Amino acid sequence: MKVPAVANRSFEELNKKPEFMVIVQFIIDKLSKIPFPIKRAKIIHQTIEEFNQEVFAHPLVKQFSPCKSGCSACCHTQVSVTRDEAELLVQRIADGVEINIDQLILQAKAGDTASEFYKLDYESRGCIFLDEKGLCKVYEDRPSVCRTNAVLGEADQCKTSDGHQQVRLVKTPQSDMAIYASFLFAEESGSLPTMVFKVLDEINNEVKES
Ligand code: SF4
C-alpha cells in the first residue's frame, strides 16, 4: 500500500480522534458496497470534493491560494493512486485522451519510490496528463491527491524544480482521512505512472491472449 505522504501524516496525527476514525470506517463501508472499480474511484472523488467544499470556499483560501486552472506547479511531483483510480485514468486514455508513452515508460521505470522519481529532471517529471498549456487533460477525473493539494502563497513553493518538495498545504483532514481509507481499501496502489502502466500492460496482454 502506497498511501500519499500528506494523507498518511494526517492519519498519524488524527487516528486517536474518534470523529476522524468514523470517516475512515464510513468510506471503507461505502466502497465495500460498490463492485465496480471506476464507480468506486468516482465516488471517492465526489466525497473528497464535498469535504473540500467548506475549506476551499473560505475567503482567505480564495484570496491567497494560487491553485487555479492553468497552474501546474504541483503536477511535477510524485502522485499516488489506487488501482481504482488507475483504471479510471486508463478508461480516459481508452476514450481518446492522448499521453506521451515515452514519458510514461520513463516515469514508470522510476517505480514507486520518491528518491528515484526525483532523480528525473523537472520536465521529465511532468504528469503524463498535462497538456502543452499546463492544463490537466483529465481534470474531472484527476486523482484524490490532486484534489487536496491546495497551497497558500506563491505557486513556486510547489515547483520542486530543485528535486525537493516543500509545500504548505491547506489542511483538509476529512479529505485526508477519506484518501487514507481508500488506499487502505484498495487492492493495489502505487505511483500514477507505475499503476497506469500496469493496467495498460494487463489490458495489452489480455488482448494478445484473446
Ligand atoms: S492528474 Fe492532472 S492534476 Fe493530477 S498531477 Fe496529473 S496533470 Fe496534475
- In tens, the pLDDT along 47-80 reads 999 998 878 888 888 888 888 777 888 898 899 9
pTM of the full structure: 0.91
| Closest CA to ligand 1's atom 8 | 75
Cα of 205 vs centre of ligand 1, distance in Å, is 27
Which residues, 6+ apart, have CB-to-CB distance to 105 below 8 Å? 197
Cα of 77 vs centre of ligand 1, distance in Å, is 9
Q: What is the greatest pairwise CA distance in the chain?
A: 56
Q: What is the distance between the alpha carbons of residues 92 and 195, in angstroms, rounded to a whole number?
A: 14
pLDDT, residue 114, reads: 87
How many domains does the chain contain in total?
1
In a domain, 187, yes or no: yes
pLDDT, residue 165, reads: 56
Mutate to test the pocket of ligand 1, among 72, 77, 92 (most ligand atoms within 8 A of CB): 72
Full 3-state SS string of 100-114: CHHHHHHHHHCCCCH
Three-state DSSP class for residue 86:
helix
In a domain, 210, yes or no: no
Cα of 142 vs centre of ligand 1, distance in Å, is 6
Q: Which range of residues forms the domain containing residue 168?
A: 5-205
Closest CA to 19 of 203, 177, 210: 177
pLDDT, residue 43, reads: 97
Cα of 139 vs centre of ligand 1, distance in Å, is 7
Residue segments in the chain with a per-residue pLDDT below the cut of 70: 159-169
